[in-house]
A and B are shown apart, each in its own frame.
Chain A
Amino acid sequence: MVPAQELTVRPARRSRRRAGRISAGWITSFCLPAFALYGLFLVVPLVTAFYYGLFRWDGTQQGEFVGIGNYREILTRYPLSDEIPAALGHNVLFFVGTMAIQNTIGLGLALLLHRNPWGKRLFQTLFSLPYLISPLIVGYIWSLLLSPTFGPINFALRAVGLDAWARPWLGEPDLALPVLILVNAWQWIGGPMLIFGAALAGIPQELEEAAAMDGASPTRTFWSIRFPLLIPAVGVITVLTFIGCFNIFDLVYALGGSDGGPGGAMDVLGLLYYRTAFRGGSNAIGESSALAMLIFVLIFGVSLALERTLRRREVH
C-alpha cells in the first residue's frame, strides 16, 4: 500500500518547483528595471564620486592621484574647516527640531483623526496637500510671506498692534533656523500624520477596550498600550526624518540662498556641497566628491545604526 502521505506530497512538490521556476523568471523581469535604474543612478554615481574624490582636478581635467588629499584639504582649509562642523551642527539641530515639532504634532493630529471626527478625510487631504508642492516653491512663497518689507505676516502683526513681533524672520541669525524648521514642518506634517494614522488603525481594538475596562485613563492607555505598539512607526519616521534633514537642500536654498541665510545661520551640508561643487575653483570636482562621500558615509552609517537600535525596541 502506498502511504497516503506520498500520494499527497509528490504533486505538491512538483507544483512548488514549477511555481518556483515561474516566479524566479517573473521576479527577475520585474526587478530588472528597478535594479538597472538603481545601478545607473545610485551605484554608478556613488562609485564615480568615490573615484573622483581620490584625484586632483584642474577644471574637468583629471590630474594626479592624491589619495585622501582632497579629504584632508576640505577638513583643514579655512574657512571650510569651520564651516563643515557648523553646517553639521545645523543639520543636527534641524533634525532634533523636526522630530520635536513636526513629528510630535503629526502624532497629535493622527490621534485626533483616529477618533473619526467630522471631516476626517478632508483634514487628511488638507494636511497632506503641501506634499504636492516643490520645496523650492514652498521656500519662495514663505520667503515672500515673511518678508519684512512686503510680507503679509508682518503686516498682519502690525495691524493688530504686535509691532514688536514683526521681526525680519529670515534675516535674524537666531530666528532663521527655527523658521526653517517650522516651514519644513508645514510642508511635511502630512507624512508622520498618515504613517501614525495607519499604525493606530492597526492596533487591535480589544487591547484598548481591555485597558479601558481595567480602568486605565486615556493617558495611561496611550503610554502603556498605543505608544509601545507605535514604535515601529516611530522607527520608520525617525529614519526618514533623519535622511530628509541631512539631505536638505532645496528648501534652505529658497529661504536663505546658497550661503545659508544671515551669518550662515541656516548653512547645512547640502548647501556646503553645492558651494564646493559649483563655486569651488579649479579642484572643485575632487573636493566636492570627497565632501559628498563624507556626507554619504555619515547619513548611511547613522541611518543603519538608528534602524538597528529602533528595531530592537519593537514590541510584537
Chain B
Amino acid sequence: MPRRFGAIGVVATLAVTLAACAPGDSGDGGGDAVNLKVWGWRQEDVAAYKKIFQIYEKAHPGVTVEYVPYKNTEYDTILKTGLTDANGPDVAQLRSYGLLQPLVGSGSLVPLDDQVDKLSGFPKPILDGAKGDKDGHVYGVPFAIQTLHVIYNKKIFADNGIDAPTTWADMIAGFDKLSKAGVTPLANTVTDKWMLPIEQEIFGATTYGGPDYLTKMLNGSAKFTDAPWVKSLETWKSTQKYWPAQASGVSYTDAQALFTSGRAAMFPGGVWELAGFKKANPQLDLGIFNAPPAPGASVDKTLVPGYVDGSFGVSAKSRHRDAALDLVRWMATKEFGTALSNELQQISPVPGVEPQDELLAQALKGYQANPSPYVTYAYFSGGTPTAWDLASEAFSDYVLDRSNAADAAAHIQRGVDQWFRPKN
C-alpha cells in the first residue's frame, strides 16, 4: 500500500512539474506580425539594444525585435538548451572561436555564408571568430572587436613628465620614473589567471611576431615551445618589477581599483575596461598606447592585439527563419554598425564604421594598421584543453616563479598537441 501511494505520489509530482515546465504556445506562429527574440549575455545593454532595434522596426513594419538578456556567466548553458527548441531564440548572440564550436557541432545554427552577402566584405581575421572549425562555414555576423592596450592615466603621465612611449626604452624609462615617484607603474593582476594571457599578448606580441608567427603555428611550422614564443613570456615578465607590491595577491578588481584611484599609472587590459573606468572615476583622463617592439623583437612595428568578441547567428529551430535572416543581414550593414558603436561604445567590425569615441577610434585605427592575434584565446581554443586555459595555468606558475618560460610553453604545447592538427 505505501509503495503504491509512493508511486502515485511520484507520478503526480512529476506530472505537475512537467506541466509547469512545458513550453507555452507563444502564439506568434501565424499571421503577419513577427516577433523576433534576440538572446544575449549583456544585461547592461538592454536599453541600448532597444534603441538600436527601433531603427530596424521602423523600416520593417510588422516586425518587432526583442533583446532578451541572460546572466553572462550562465548564458552559454542557457543558450545550448534554448537552441534545441523553437521557443528559444530566433537570433542569438554567440561567443567566438572555440566557445562557438559546441553549437556548430550540434547543428543548432544556420550557416550564413550564402545568406548574408555583406559578410564577404569583412576582413578574414574578423570572420575567423565566427567560423565552424570543421566545416569552415560562417555562423554569425560579428558585432564587436575587442583590442588590447596599455590604458594610462594622462594626468599621472603629465605630472611626471611622461608621454605615451614610442620605443621600448622610453617605456621602461617612464616606468622607472613613476616607480621613483612612488606611483605603481602597472596595475597588473596575478590572482585572476585569465588576465595573464592578455598581459602576455600586450607586452610580448612583438617578441614572437604576431600574425606572421600565428600563420606558422597554424600550418605546423612553429610551436609554443619555439624560441620566439618562449621569449615573449620573458619579455612580458621583464616588466614584473613595475607591478604592484605583492602582485601575487592582487585580484582583477584590486588592480582596477588601484588604477581608477590613481595609485597606479597604467592598466594593461582590454578596450572594454574604458567604460567601467570612466564610470568608477569620471575625473579620469584616459589614454591608450601599445607596447613598442621589445629588444630582440621579431617585428619592428607596434602591434595591437585584438579579437572578435562575438557574433549574431540564427537558430536552426527558429519559426521565423526568413525574418531572422533579414535581421542578421541588417546587422552586417553600416547602419547597424554605427548604431551599435554609438550606443554601446564598442568597436564595430562592419567595414567603414568609425567609432565616435576618440579612444575607440584610436584603438580601431591601431588594430587596422598593425593587427595582432590573441593566439591562445582565439586560435587554439577549438579543442579540449584550450590553449587559453593551459596558458592561464602555466603563466600563473611562471610569474610565481614555480616554473620557467620553457616549462610554461611546454605545458601549453603538451595540452594542445592532444587535439590540434596543423592545416597546410
Binding site for B on A (CB under 8 A): 24, 27-29, 31-33, 35-36, 39-40, 58-61, 77-80, 143, 146-150, 167-173, 256-257, 259, 261-264, 275, 278-284, 287
The one of A256, A263, A281 in contact with B402, judged by C-beta atoms closer than 8 angstroms, is A263
Which of B5, B106, B251, B415 is A59 in contact with, Cβ under 8 Å? B106
Q: What does the 1/0 interface line of B188-226 toward A look like (CB < 8 Å)?
A: 001111100000000000000000000000000000000
Once the chains are docked, how many angstroms separate the CA of A78 from the CA of B383?
13
Is there a chain A Cβ closer than 8 Å to B258's Cβ?
yes
Q: Of the 9-residue stretches B147-155, B159-167, B393-401, which lies at the interface with chain A?
A: B393-401
15 contacts between A and B (CB under 8 A): A27-B2, A28-B6, A40-B14, A59-B102, A59-B105, A60-B108, A79-B385, A149-B258, A171-B191, A173-B402, A263-B400, A264-B396, A275-B389, A281-B98, A282-B101
A257: B residues at CB distance < 8 A: 191-193
Q: Please indicate the chain B residues that have their CB under 8 angstroms from the CB of A29 in the complex.
A: 5
Q: Is the CB of A147 within 8 A of B254?
A: yes
B-chain residues with CB within 8 Å of residue A278 when the two chains form the complex = 76-77
Known: A28-B2, A263-B402. A147 touches B251 (CB 8 A): yes
The answer, yes or no, to whether B26 is at the interface (CB within 8 Å) is no
Q: Is the CB of A256 within 8 A of B13?
A: no
Contacts of A36 in B (CB 8 A): 9-10, 13
Flag if B251 contacts A168 (CB, 8 Å).
Answer: no
Chain B residues 338 to 389 lying within 8 A of chain A, measured CB to CB, are 383-386, 389
A78 touching B414, Cβ below 8 Å: yes
A282 touches B102 (CB 8 A): yes
Contact yes or no, B384 A281, CB < 8 A: yes
**Which residues of chain A have C-beta atoms less than 8 A from B81's C-beta?**
60
- B393 and A58 contacting across the interface, CB-CB below 8 Å: no
Question: In the complex the two chains form, is B106's CB within 8 Å of A61's CB?
Answer: yes
Render B1-17 as a binary contact track against A, CB cut-off 8 A, 1 for contact. Answer: 11001100110011001
Q: Which residues of B are interface residues toward A (Cβ below 8 A)?
A: 1-2, 5-6, 9-10, 13-14, 17, 76-77, 80-81, 83-84, 98, 101-103, 105-108, 190-194, 244-251, 254, 257-258, 263, 383-386, 389-390, 392-393, 396-397, 400, 402, 411, 414-415, 418
- Given contact pairs A281-B383, A282-B101, A259 touches B396 in the complex (Cβ within 8 A): yes
B250 in contact with A259 (CB, 8 Å)? no
Q: A36-B13, A40-B14, A148-B246 are in contact. Are A259 and B106 (CB under 8 A)?
A: no
CB distance from B156 to the nearest CB of A (A): 17
The answer to whether B1 and A24 touch across the interface, beta carbons within 8 angstroms, is yes
Give every chain B residue within 8 A of A147 (Cβ-Cβ): 249-251, 254
Given the contacts A79-B411, A147-B254, A171 and B105 also touching, CB distance less than 8 Å: no
Q: Are B193 and A59 in contact (CB under 8 A)?
A: no
Judge whether B251 and A262 touch: CB under 8 Å.
no
Provide the residues of chain B in CB contact with A39, threshold 8 Å.
Answer: 10
Task: Determine the chain B residues whose CB is within 8 A of the CB of A80 once the complex forms.
Answer: 385
- Give Cα A88–Cα B281 distance, bound, in whole angstroms: 43
Q: Is the CB of B415 within 8 A of A172?
A: no
Known: A143-B251, A287-B384. 17 other contacts (CB 8 A): A28-B1, A35-B9, A59-B102, A59-B103, A59-B106, A148-B249, A148-B254, A168-B250, A169-B249, A257-B192, A259-B392, A262-B248, A262-B400, A263-B397, A281-B102, A281-B386, A283-B384
